[in-house]
A and B are shown apart, each in its own frame.
Chain A
Amino acid sequence: DIQMTQSPSTLSANVGDKVTLTCRASQSIRSWLAWYQQKPGKAPHLLMYKASILESGVPSRFSGSGSGTEFTLTISSLQPDDFATYYCQQYNSYPWTFGQGTKVEIK
């Protein structure tokens, strides 16, 4: 199975900060990576797919990059609505696997 490792586990930041979340795969997944945002008590919400393609309706302050085994999700200017947990997920090979999540909290 492909292991997905996210860092950091928790990130404390202020509104307006630029933040970068990292996701590493245990083997190459090419660009078959998605990012999701989840708020407490809610279902996850797709932000990004194929590593760097922004889902329709997602604000442009979100961007993604990477290929192979190293990926990043960047929020250029953190907004109050962005405080949530973020998960990466590979869909290169079965079983599909998620990272353990990065919680972005208010500093």
Chain B
Amino acid sequence: EVRLVESGGGLVQPGGSLRLSCAASGFTLSSYEMNWVRQAPGKGLEWISNISSSNMNTHYAESVKGRFTISRDNAKNSVYLQMNSLRAEDTAIYYCATGGSCINGFCDNDLYFRHWGQGTLVTVSS
């Protein structure tokens, strides 16, 4: 069974930093692109970042570019989101989610979010 468990959320002051983790199990993490998606309280979903299976390519939403960094450690079956210069508008539940897969050099177009974690809440407030 595929399982994604986020951790690292909490209360942080504006301008502060947090590092979120996503622990993956039940599948070969190294074969999958991974994403972070967030949801502000009472609002819709916002994709914020992803990282390729090979760790070579990353993408970011404009709202977090230059402040957030996505990374992964396939040996530890984990994906991370380093969040710096946090703002009140970054307050949200942060979900990690699987994306497309690359197996034996063949990458599919299944870039949607099939599996999701339960989310971790980040609150930015003084």
Interface residue? A64 (CB, 8 A)? no
Q: Mark B33-58, 1 if CB is under 8 A from A, else 0.
A: 00101000000111100100000000
Stretch at the interface among B15-23, B70-78, B80-88, B108-116: B108-116
Known: A32-B111, A36-B113. A94 touches B59 (CB 8 A): yes
Known: A89-B45, A94-B59, A98-B47. A34 touches B116 (CB 8 A): no
Interface residue? B62 (CB, 8 A)? yes
For the complex, give the distance between the alpha carbons of A34 and B62 in Å.
22
Residues from chain A with a CB closer than 8 A to the CB of B119 are: 43
For the complex, give the distance between the alpha carbons of A38 and B88 in Å.
24
At the interface, is chain A mostly helix, strand, loop or mixed? loop
At the interface, is chain B mostly helix, strand, loop or mixed? loop
Residues from chain B with a CB closer than 8 A to the CB of A49 are: 110, 112, 114
Residues from chain A with a CB closer than 8 A to the CB of B25 are: none
Contact present for B61 and A45 (CB under 8 Å): no
Interface residue? A97 (CB, 8 A)? yes
Interface residue? A7 (CB, 8 A)? no
Chain B interfacial residues counted at CB < 8 A? 22
**A43: nearest chain-B partner, CB-CB:** B116
Expressed in whole angstroms, the minimum distance between the Cβ of A47 and any Cβ of chain B is: 10
Residues from chain A with a CB closer than 8 A to the CB of B117 are: 43
Residues from chain B with a CB closer than 8 A to the CB of A1 are: 62
Residues from chain A with a CB closer than 8 A to the CB of B110 are: 49
For the complex, give the distance between the alpha carbons of A45 and B46 in Å.
15
Contact present for A96 and B116 (CB under 8 Å): no
Q: 28 A-B Cβ contacts within 8 A?
A: A1-B62, A32-B109, A34-B113, A38-B45, A43-B116, A43-B118, A44-B37, A44-B45, A44-B95, A44-B113, A45-B116, A46-B112, A46-B113, A49-B110, A49-B114, A89-B47, A89-B112, A91-B112, A94-B59, A95-B47, A95-B61, A95-B62, A96-B35, A96-B111, A97-B47, A98-B44, A99-B44, A101-B45
List A residues at the B interface (Cβ < 8 Å).
Answer: 1, 32, 34, 36, 38, 43-46, 49, 55, 87, 89, 91, 94-101
List B residues at the A interface (Cβ < 8 Å).
Answer: 35, 37, 44-47, 50, 59-62, 95, 109-114, 116-119
